[in-house]
Structure 1
Amino acid sequence: MSVITQIDAMEVLDSRGNPTVRVTLELSDGVCESAIVPSGASTGKREALELRDNDRTRYMGKGVQKACKHVNEIIKEALMGTESGRQNDVDSVMRALDGTENYSSLGANAILGVSMAYARASARSLGIPLYRYLGGANACVLPVPMLNIINGGSHADNTVDFQEYMIMPLGFECFSEGLRASAEVYQNLKKILNERGDVTAIGDEGGFAPNLKNNQEPIEVILKAIEAAGYKAGDEIAIALDVASSELVGEDGLYHLEGEGRKLSSLELVEYYENLVSKYPIVSIEDGLSEDDWEGWKILTQRLGDRIQLVGDDLFVTNAQILAEGIAQGVGNAILVKPNQIGSVSQSMQAMRLAQRNRYRCVMSHRSGESEDSFIADFAVALNCGEIKTGSTARSERMAKYNRLLEIERELGGGEYLGWNIFR
């Protein structure tokens, strides 16, 4: 077995121009691999800590030199000489080294960078793809993409309250055909928005960010784009929403839909969703209620859980312990998986496996602050997630993931594409 001979972290920039950590790891057999850690804009309270320098003279306080120093000094010293292919052991050593529940000592961005780079190097040393190293022989499912084609909320400077309006190409035989159809819808959406005189500037994740009159109009415009592209809404392509409702809660405890001039209670917001689901081909709602509103989540799950997918992002923060609470209380029926929410590859896998054992769906996800790193594409295939969120068919940091999935599809000779079977 090869062993770790060098670990080096440096400060690079993400897709928003903010600093993030890049880790390069070398093995004794000459393998050298790197990984870049993403960063979120809309973050849950219980996420692992992304360590920032808070030095206002550099990058407005967002530098990550401290995290890099922790990698180059503390983590490196602990891991030098460790054999490759021992993912759980390496991640456990780093967790113990930090000594906190949320990596507030060394920083989750430091830990995750090493965890990802080590996984990549181990896979290459073994001469196998990353998805095979992480998932074994059973890794074969290409995920249905959830493409964010209209941005709102904290991902765009517009009047739309909900953070993401997504399309899901469910009625296709393979990933590449679903992606092609989605790209065609995206281009038709741009054309329609232009003809309406709407702004076609794009948000953090590549979706358009027009000012629309309410939170239903984006759905109406997307349905027109699906039709214009020659596809059938609700049959070939469905709608998914990420409300990011923790961002909507005011000091009065109500959900503020500023774009509509409304303030709603938990029950009223659930009824709002029921109306949307009855009216439109919506198959998934993410973070429909606040991360603190567990009673509201129970009502939402009781009312809509047997009809659509209810995804917990801020609610579960890729944390197996919190997910176990949700399973016990009957809250939600799916988990969003963001490795930097929890801090390591192994812990992300732990949360996914717990979800799958309890028939909760898993959705692999990027962050709004991304890079050219395509790790999550392999990760989604590794655990047969069946779904992936990684933005629209625009911006190179998003396309890096889709292009990697196209490569994997070819390597697997097509693989499996579940389409509507995700929900059956």
Structure 2
Amino acid sequence: MATIAKRTRRNVPAKITKVHAREIYDSRGNPTLEVELTTPDGTFRADVPSGASTGDKEAHELRDGGARLSGKGVAKAVTNVIDVIGPAILGQDAIDIASLDAQLCALDGTTDKSKLGANAILGVSMAACRAGAAAAGEPLYVFLNRLAGSPKMVMPMPCFNLVNGGVHAGNALPFQEFFACPTGASTFREAMQMGAETYHALKALLKEQHGLDSTGVGDEGGFAPKLSSPEDALKLIVSAVERAGLTGKVTLGCDPAASEMYDKDRGVYNLDFKKPAAEQQPENIMKGDDLVAYWVEMAGKYPLTLLEDPFDQSDFESHAKLTAQIGGNVEIVGDDIFCTNVQLVKEGIERRATNAMLLKVNQIGTVTEAIAAYKLCVEHEWGVFVSHRSGETEDTFIADLTVALGAGHLKSGAPCRSERLAKYNQLLRIEEELGADAQYAGTDFRKSGRF
């Protein structure tokens, strides 16, 4: 890495002298937490994201309840950072992230971080990483790379969320996200261009076929057209790729977020769960095996390369059946089923449930724990798909983390909305800084940590 080699790595402590927090607002207009951590090198900031479609076993996001801000305020978490965490870590070295994160977990003392709040703990963990990088005199992605054991750094394939459904949009589309995946790009910059061109081609198609009111966007910047059929969404993206002249270079992905449509009482997946009961069709009420067959059919008809959460978070059996049938060609990613948690990933590996894990730092609450889950996946040759949340901020931490881990792919929404593009634009800067050493994952995106 020629550009990086010119920097002299410092070996000085980064003693924490002050910790502060405040309530800010995310991309959905909901409150979230911002942490500021001060060392002799300056003050370093981190913003914590928040999800709408969340797994039952995610670390606990502390909210205030009550009437203020519809109960979503984070004043309690702010107080925990200032009055509990701050005094406990003053004088600690921000470079030693593993020790700091362990101290934060011990200070909370619960298995799900429900005492202090995973949002409070994560904000401190992320800000400390930035302080540690500054003390070491190196970019954040280099600091995080060493923290992860120095795997080969690569530029990830971005998975662009072009069509929104599920709980992220006000249409009848049951599946939450439909991706365009520029596997055929040669650089990250070219991948961004392919994503933008496909996005605008899709907008033109939607306007022509469904009218201007179908070009409004959902929480993550993807379009939210008046569709109810997932296959129609896949067809639209295929047509947009063709219109953009990128056939064969851009493949498809989907995050059904199937836990949202799973009827636990009946043990069925209701693909019409967003429709009134009178409009729900019997053929859209499926057992696990029916949905397995559905995805096998879709993978045979469309250039599908990635499926995230195709079944409920408790349905290990259906995940395993699908992985056994199409996992050689399609990455099956577990999100709600694993929650970036080492113990849950271990269970998934033992049951051969999927062949990849989604990594969301706020699902587990510290950077160190997220890296531990990543390492377990790499050890078993699983993919690691780094992800934003639907409630985002301008914070670009996951861009640096994805490069640091050599994770090979990430999703940060559509090439639209600044809280999404902040991450993609940071990756453009990193690629420029790495210069000739910037390898793009492309078709090898599943080789997380093994490039």
| Coarse TM-score class (shorter-chain normalised) | over 0.9
Q: Aligned with 2:162: secondary structure?
A: strand
Structure 2 distance, partners of 1:329, 1:254, is 21
Report 1:249-398 matches (<5 A): 249-250=262-263, 251-258=265-272, 261=281, 262-398=284-420
Report 1:61-140 matches (<5 A): 61-136=71-146, 138-140=151-153
Structure 2 distance, partners of 1:176, 1:192, is 25
Which 4+ stretches in 1 moved above 3 angstroms?
none
TM-score (normalizing by structure 2): 0.92
Partner residue, 2:443: 420
User: 1:18 aligned to 2:30?
Assistant: yes
Structure 1 distance, partners of 2:389, 2:364, is 13
Q: How many Å apart are 1:422 and its aligned residue? A: 2.6
Alignment gaps of 5+ in structure 2: 1-12
Structure 1 distance, partners of 2:299, 2:252, is 10
Q: Is the 8 A contact 1:167 1:240 kept in 2?
A: yes
Q: Aligned with 1:413: secondary structure?
A: helix
Structure 2 distance, partners of 1:140, 1:307, is 24
Q: Is the 8 A contact 1:131 1:139 kept in 2?
A: no
User: 1:34 aligned to 2:48?
Assistant: no
Partner residue, 2:9: none
Partner residue, 2:184: 171
Q: Is the 8 A contact 2:382 2:446 kept in 1?
A: no
Structure 2 distance, partners of 1:222, 1:43, is 26
TM-score (normalizing by structure 1): 0.97
Report 1:185-200 matches (<5 A): 185-198=198-211, 199-200=214-215
Structure 2 distance, partners of 1:101, 1:53, is 20
Alignment gaps of 5+ in structure 1: none
Q: How many Å apart are 1:363 and its aligned residue? A: 0.5
Q: Is the 8 A contact 1:168 1:240 kept in 2?
A: yes
Q: Aligned with 2:173: secondary structure?
A: coil
Q: Is the 8 A contact 2:41 2:131 kept in 1?
A: no
Q: Answer with 383-392 or 136-145: which moved more.
A: 136-145
Partner residue, 2:4: none
Partner residue, 1:223: 238
Structure 1 distance, partners of 2:109, 2:131, is 26
Structure 1 distance, partners of 2:75, 2:20, is 12
- The one-letter code matched in structure 2 to 1:13 is Y
Q: Aligned with 2:20: secondary structure?
A: strand
Percent identical: 43
RMSD after superposition: 1.1
Q: Is the 8 A contact 2:296 2:322 kept in 1?
A: no
User: 1:3 aligned to 2:15?
Assistant: yes
Report the count of equivalent residues. Answer: 420
